[in-house]
Amino acid sequence: MANTSDAEHDRLAAAVEILDRLVAFDTTSARSNIELIDWVAEYLQSHGIGSTRSAAFEGKANLFATIGPAERGGVILSGPKVVVTRTADGAVHGFSAVCTHQGCTVDVVGHGTIDCPCHGSRFDAATGAVVAGPALRPLPPIGVEVRNGQVFRT
Ligand code: FES
């Protein structure tokens, strides 16, 4: 494969193998999906990822899994457009939730970053600094403090 490293090629081959296996399941809506659900649950478990099955109705199920840190890295408030993060050291940080690229509201906090859905900018959850563009400027800080388990603007 041109222009790919061996590692990239291996990851792509593994992904194709998984896709081949998934599309081989008969997922016709009138039939059971339990065989597919079992396979996915076992695959996730083999990678240390737990899942929860919910039975939709006879012969059908849904599977829920969370990949990545179980704890939420922060919350985004839509009223004042503030994002409040908590870093691993327990410190709480506040920033404007308005992306400095073109003004979209950031929508995800996790894995140490605050992410913008519009063009993919990512900001450091502890400092607001740009981790990935196209944004060039950090998210402006907003003073917050925790009192009695509640977050207040300072
Ligand atoms: S507005 Fe956020 S990346 Fe463009």
pLDDT band for position 1 (cuts 50, 70, 90): very low
Give the total number of structural domains in the chain. Answer: 2
Distance 24 CA to ligand 1 centre (A): 39
Q: What percent of the chain has pLDDT over 70?
A: 86
Q: Provide the pLDDT for residue 59.
A: 80
Distance 125 CA to ligand 1 centre (A): 16
Helix (H, G, I), strand (E, B) or coil at 44: helix
State both tokens at 114: 């605050």
For 20-39, how does the pLDDT look when each residue is reduced to its tens digit (9 = 90+)?
Answer: 999 899 878 788 888 998 99
In short, whether 116's Cβ falls inside 6 Å of ligand 1 is yes
Mean local confidence (pLDDT), 95-116 = 88
Mutating to test ligand 1, I would choose from 101, 105, 131, 139 the residue with most ligand atoms within 8 A of its C-beta, which is 101
Answer yes or no: is pLDDT of 109 > 90: no
Residue 83 lies in a domain: yes
Residue 1 lies in a domain: no
Q: What is the CATH number of the domain that holds 123?
A: 2.102.10.10
* Angle, alpha carbons 138-71-139 (nearest 5°): 10
| 146 Cβ contact partners less than 8 Å away, ≥ 6 residues apart | 92, 152
In short, whether 97's Cβ falls inside 6 Å of ligand 1 is no
Residue 51 lies in a domain: yes
Residues 60 and 91 in one domain: no
For 33-92, how does the pLDDT look when each residue is reduced to its tens digit (9 = 90+)?
Answer: 889 989 999 998 898 888 887 776 678 788 777 666 555 566 666 567 888 888 877 788
Residues 38 and 105 in one domain: no
Residues 96 and 57 in one domain: no
Residue 145 lies in a domain: yes
What is the secondary structure of 79-96 as a DSSP string?
A: TTTEEEEE-TTS-EEEEE
Q: What is the residue-averaged pLDDT of the chain?
A: 83
**Domain, as residue range, for 95:** 74-153
Residue 50 lies in a domain: yes
Phi first, then psi: what are they for 44, rounded to 5°?
Answer: -60, -45
Residue 37 lies in a domain: yes
